[in-house]
Amino acid sequence: MKNNCIALLALLLSFSSVAQNNNPFIGVQHEVRRQLERGDVFMRRGIYEEAEMAYTNAIELDNTFADSYMKRANLYRALSRYQESIRDYNRAIALNPFSEYIYDRRSKIKMLAMDYKGALIDLNKAISLQPENLELIDHRVEEFIAIGAYEQALSDIDTLIKYNYRKENEFEKAAVIFMLMENYPKCSVAIDSALAINPNSSIAFDLMGLLELQLKNYDQAITAFTRAIEINPDFAIAYYNRAVAKRYNGNSEGAVEDLNASIRMNQSSKNVFFTRALIRKELGDLEGALKDYEKAVMVDTSYTDALYNRAFIHKFMGNYSNAMRDAELIVKAKPNTEEYWNLKGNVHTLFGDYQQAIESYSNAIRLNYDYAEAYYNRGLAYVMSQNPIPGCSDFQQSMNLDFGKAELAYRNFCGR
């Protein structure tokens, strides 16, 4: 009888084990984890389409698992698909509304999407869930700096320094804030405080150089940037900053050398290409300047300053069709900037399209009724299109706004 009971118990345990192994929920969870692992492998390899498919498969298998949404959100962030990333973080938060980590991550995406108010709301929520987390407060400092809330940022920095949280970096952030506030004495004190903690901080020396640059002490700026580079020879931004100081100090060739070094380290900085283009133009290398403007635009197709300057180079070199292409791009990107409409009008004038030129100059004037150069240019377009009366009126208005060329044009075209 005892042996029969033991056998029966063993049989029941066996059935129980089989039942657990065949549990469909456990099977689904195993497949979810497998899909997430596949997605992670594809992410590391840069195979983003396959990674997205794997994460989506995981979500379709179990749409109640917050981690799946977060992983896909991180993928969308890497692809600069910020709104899709935010939507996935929204779903993750709906599933796990008490995770300060998810709010913190979503705040970063909102920053990239330039939703600064929403990012700050998320960070404040994260901090309310875990008020002792100093890292979250540090993240809020960066948010405050981004929106120009400098006093709030400094208050958080004081708190972090009080608790000995990354004091060197916090003093460096304080230096940045004081520089933005143009409080240069306090900026200097903050830099000195960072260097007192770490005398070999390349960032602190770079900030010292920027401070001297603001004060137009170019030799001192170059010395500070050089020290930053000696400490960290791969500090691409320091090379760029030293190039700017050298340019202001009259050493254009030395500036180009530093910009070349910066570009070798980082091919994705539009500002470096743009600055090298400016110097090359000053040195008379128009072809080189044109190539650098093109590289800047390749990094950022909406970089209107580069488009604007490239249009001028094209116009100067007689490539009017290319100049017009750039002019069309910049007024489309920023239709409320009077200088861009004025440039477009200039290119139309060069083509002999006077009516379109007049329309462009009129748009510039509507945006700025005191735009003396646009009145002068529109006056020329009117005169060239055999409409001297409105042309002379525009010359007169340009003269009233003290535009030097207008008086000569008025005398030549208006008979006085």
Q: DSSP H helical segments within 181-215, as ranges?
A: 184-197, 202-214
Residue carrying structure tokens 């004025």? 342
**So where are the chain's domains?**
25-132
Q: 149: which 2 tokens?
A: 């809330």
pLDDT given at position 24: 53
> Coil, strand or helix: which one is 401?
coil
pTM value is 0.76
Tens of pLDDT, residue by residue over 72-107, are: 999 999 998 999 999 999 999 999 999 999 999 999
Residue carrying structure tokens 């407060």? 137
User: Rounded to an integer, what is the distance from CA 74 to the centroid of its chain?
Assistant: 19
> Coil, strand or helix: which one is 364?
helix
> Can you tell me the distance from the alpha carbon of 198 to that of 193, in angstroms, rounded to the nearest whole number?
9
pLDDT given at position 5: 46
> Can you tell me the distance from the alpha carbon of 124 to that of 118, in angstroms, rounded to the nearest whole number?
10
Kindly tell me the burial class for residue 44, based on how many C-beta atoms sit within 10 Å of its own C-beta (0-12, 13-18, 19 or more).
Answer: exposed
Phi, psi of 53, deg, nearest 5: -65, -40
Instruction: Answer for the pair 103, 128: CB distance below 8 angstroms, yes or no.
Output: no
Instruction: Answer for the pair 277, 289: CB distance below 8 angstroms, yes or no.
Output: yes
User: Rounded to an integer, what is the distance from CA 378 to the centroid of its chain?
Assistant: 36
Tens of pLDDT, residue by residue over 265-287, are: 988 889 999 999 999 999 999 99
Q: 124: which 2 tokens?
A: 């404040």
pLDDT given at position 416: 56
pLDDT given at position 267: 85
> Can you tell me the distance from the alpha carbon of 90 to that of 21, in angstroms, rounded to the nearest whole number?
34
Each as own residue / partner, the long-range contacts of residues 89-93 (CB below 8 Å, 24 or more positions apart, any chain) are: 91/66, 92/66, 92/67, 93/66
Specify the CATH superfamily of domain 25-132. Tetratricopeptide repeat domain (1.25.40.10)
Instruction: Using 50 as the pLDDT threshold, list the residues of the chain that sit under it.
Output: 1-2, 4-23, 25
Contacts of 241 (CB under 8 A, 6+ apart): 206, 209, 210, 213, 221, 225
Kindly tell me the burial class for residue 96, based on how many C-beta atoms sit within 10 Å of its own C-beta (0-12, 13-18, 19 or more).
Answer: middle
